[in-house]
Structure 1
Amino acid sequence: MATWWRQTGGGLPRTFWYLWTATLINRLGSFVAIYLGVYLVSVRHFDPSYAGIVIGLHGAGSALGTLLGGIVADRWGRRPAMLTGNVAAAATAAGLGLTGHPVAIAALTLTLGFFLGVARPAFTATIIDVVGERDRLRALTLNYWAINIGFSAAATMAGVLIRVDPLLLFVINAAVLLGTAGLIAVKVPESRPAPEAVGPRVLADRGGLGAVLRDRVFLTFTALTGLVWLCIEANAMLPVALQADGLPASAYGPIIAVNGLMIVAGQLFVPRLIARFDRSRTVAVAAVVIGAGFTVTAVADTVPLYGLSVLVWTLGEMMMTPANSALSADLSPAAQRGRYQGVYSLGYAFASFAGPTVGGLVTDGFGDTVLWLGLSGLALLVAVGNLLAGPARTRRIEALQVPAPAPVRPAPAPV
């Protein structure tokens, strides 16, 4: 085990471990995002339709925040984006817990999502900055592992806190965000590459999103990533499928818990399994496995079969997530990492909104079996898309790895 841990977590810079700790602390206290719907319906007694709109506003704010956060991270630095985002989100979370007016709740939820989004691209860009290319897959996997450990623990603790005093959800969440900002302020140095380190092309960069939006290779990659996450997010319709099969609502908890347990228990073994393979092919295989999981869901009618379906698509998710994160790092020019990570985050933001929405519409119109088979087919199309896009990505990565030419110095004037 000691040898395995050295191969999994050894050799990574100290700054990365401070960032990893900040991720874990942040996710351990992310109560508001997890229990916002339950809070609005059960505590504030709003209609489910209003709760759905508010949750959607959180996602919309996050999408806008990631775009601005990427620009801030590249133009003014990683630390300003992370510190401003976390501190402002802390103040917003506290205000959200103290208000009961529906308009104020909607506005503050949008604002909370926005400031949380501002910090994310800078955070990922800092990891990419401080971890060498050879170790990025391990580092990003470790960070994803911390996210899932924190999320699993937060979901359990939030259920207890909301019964004790719902305000605690917001107060502790705000305190955790301040703690995250404090750790970054004290231990994480600025890592934005200096202009001379990224070549003369940075001088023509105006700091906007134009360079990213003109990058068809990266935009195709982001779109394919968003589509496969849409498949996973459409699992919001799983309770409907359980009900249609006459299974109790209480079965959903143990079934979906398979996902978190597998990631926490097995994610750290994944880098050694996939590191030697081409990343685009790895993502394609992962999409096929995810599609196979939804095929099992389509024929499932018992709790064990539904549990098996979650197990299968979770295996695909475990392969896909670190490979996709490493690809996003490989495809991001050093001078534009913040903006590239901001645009990359839009894929997941799109999926978090479109997945449940499309899932609900298809289930209402055609039934859940059509939904699961449709998602399986979509996952297969994503796999084909990744295989077709692989050569272009390889050429782009090789081009980005070519060292920038040294600046030409004028010859000294003759004496």
Structure 2
Amino acid sequence: MSTAPPDQSKLDQPRFRDALRGLPGRVWIISLGILVNQVGNFLPVFIVLYLTERGYSAGAAGLVLGVSGVGKVLGNAVGGHLADKIGRRWTIVLSAVTTAGLTAVVPSLGPLPLIVAVVGLIGVTSQIYRPAAAAVLLDAVDTNQQRLAAFGVFRFSMNVGAALGGVIGGVLASTSYTELFLGNAAACLLFGVVVVMLLRDAPQPRSGQDDTDTKADRAVGYRQALADRTLVRFLLMTVVAEFVYIQSTVGLPLHVSDVGLSERDFGLLIGLNGLLVLALELPITGAVSRYRPEYVLAIGNLITGVGLALTGFTAGMVLLAATVLIWTLGEMMTSSVAMAYLGSLTPPRMVGRYQGLHGIAYTTGTGAGPLIGGAVYAIGPWALWTLIGAAGLLAARLSLPRRRVKSTVGEPDS
């Protein structure tokens, strides 16, 4: 892995450890809020079990999940627009309050079409906050190291919340699904309270353009963002990389079952992944922070693809744990770096929209991944592992800068 050519701006940047210590309060406030929100994020995890316990078929549960997935894509688009339009703070509060209200009524819903409609709306509202939350972090920091540190803390909070939420949700689900969903609603409301009480929107930078130019810029919106070729390449990379990574919840459990291991063994492997992320992601983010993000993303995506593709060639728990170590290393290398790198690409007044498009790409990859992965695995396990390896290579290639075509005399550069 090669470093970028040294320049004075890089020499002036603080070390990752110093950047962590110097993060502004806004980063810690939004990270606290996301921790609270993730601890109570029960519905996406337990909705299938809830529906099947009520007597609905696996197909009906799949329909609910599919509609929710479409809602999540739409929610990121809406959230990106609102974050730039009405501000980060009120976008997050709107998301938290509406999600809380809708989640609280889920236990009282009867007919399946009503459940589908409400859970689909929850898919929308539950994602509206995401672009705004990322925008809060980007508003609060200036340098690449600070961006990495901010997203590292944010990711750590999400992972701690998800780990705690899984345990708490399991306890609540074993006693009462009503308590589970009401707990989810309470966590959403508490997230909104944290934001409305402690967070204020940062003043937005002035561009120097007149009012006419500003209105025209806002009118273009996502169309202008998608004219950025570097962004589009990054979004394509995100879709492919998330398709690869989500196979840890599709191909891995199917393979575990095929080689005669149990659900408990699969749980231990996923638990190993979570433990590694909690213990090592921040140190690894600090270690790779000195290198060009494009190269870090390329190597990380390649490692993730190789690690998951190797799953198909292993049988025992020891070898499977080794593959988990490999693809988790790739995950830890890329997660915070990708979010910080996107921040470095973003024009000041387009932060919400850029983050919204990233959310769309992320949810597209994680939503389509299980459908495609399951279908390909049905053709043959070898086909899925081959596809994962090829997709990992493609994600690595898309991470790298575009090659510039050398111009001939008298012709402009492309």
Q: If the length of structure 2 is used for normalisation, what is the TM-score?
A: 0.89
Give 1:397's aligned residue. none
Counterpart pick for 1:106 among 105, 116, 119: 116
> Taking structure 1 as reference, are residues 34 and 198 closer, same or farther at Cα in structure 2, changes over 3 Å only?
farther
Give 2:218's aligned residue. 206
Counterpart pick for 2:254 among 240, 245, 258: 240
Give 1:360's aligned residue. 374
Name the CA distance, whole Å, in 2 between partners of 1:389 and 1:97: 50
With 302-311 and 274-283 compared, the bigger mean Cα shift is at: 302-311
**For 1:175-186, what aligned pairs fall within 5 Å after superposition?**
175-186=186-197
Give 2:297's aligned residue. 283
Unaligned runs of 5+ in 2: 1-14, 406-414
2:238–2:365 Cα contact (<8 Å) kept: no
Name the CA distance, whole Å, in 1 between partners of 2:203 and 2:392: 36
State whether structure 2 residue 379 is matched by structure 1 residue 379: no
Counterpart pick for 1:346 among 333, 341, 360: 360
Q: Match of 2:402, SS?
A: helix
1:298–1:373 Cα contact (<8 Å) kept: no
Name the CA distance, whole Å, in 2 between partners of 1:390 and 1:270: 29
Name the CA distance, whole Å, in 2 between partners of 1:156 and 1:25: 14
State whether structure 2 residue 13 is matched by structure 1 residue 13: no
Superposition deviation, residue 20 in structure 1: 0.8
State whether structure 2 residue 41 is matched by structure 1 residue 24: no
Unaligned runs of 5+ in 1: 393-415
State whether structure 2 residue 236 is matched by structure 1 residue 223: yes
Letter in 2 for 1:377: A
2:285–2:332 Cα contact (<8 Å) kept: no
Letter in 2 for 1:244: D
2:26–2:136 Cα contact (<8 Å) kept: no
> Taking structure 1 as reference, are residues 151 and 335 closer, same or farther at Cα in structure 2, changes over 3 Å only?
same
Q: Give structure 1 regions of 4+ aligned residues with deviation exceeding 6 angstroms.
A: none
Query: Percent identity at matched positions?
Result: 29
Q: Match of 2:291, SS?
A: coil
Give 2:335's aligned residue. 321
1:66–1:118 Cα contact (<8 Å) kept: yes
Name the CA distance, whole Å, in 2 between partners of 1:36 and 1:244: 26
Q: Match of 1:193, SS?
A: coil
1:296–1:308 Cα contact (<8 Å) kept: no
Q: Match of 2:218, SS?
A: coil
Give 2:4's aligned residue. none
Give 1:162's aligned residue. 173
Letter in 2 for 1:309: T
Counterpart pick for 1:64 among 74, 80, 103: 74
2:79–2:130 Cα contact (<8 Å) kept: yes
Name the CA distance, whole Å, in 2 between partners of 1:128 and 1:79: 14
With 316-325 and 54-63 compared, the bigger mean Cα shift is at: 54-63
Name the CA distance, whole Å, in 1 between partners of 2:275 and 2:295: 26
State whether structure 2 residue 72 is matched by structure 1 residue 74: no
Cα deviations by residue, 1:148-184 (Å, 9 ceiling, x for unpaired): 1111111111111101111111101101111111111
1:71–1:338 Cα contact (<8 Å) kept: yes
1:140–1:322 Cα contact (<8 Å) kept: yes
1:296–1:305 Cα contact (<8 Å) kept: no
> Taking structure 1 as reference, are residues 232 and 390 closer, same or farther at Cα in structure 2, changes over 3 Å only?
farther
Q: Match of 2:261, SS?
A: coil
Name the CA distance, whole Å, in 1 between partners of 2:265 and 2:353: 41
Letter in 1 for 2:23: L
Give 1:40's aligned residue. 51
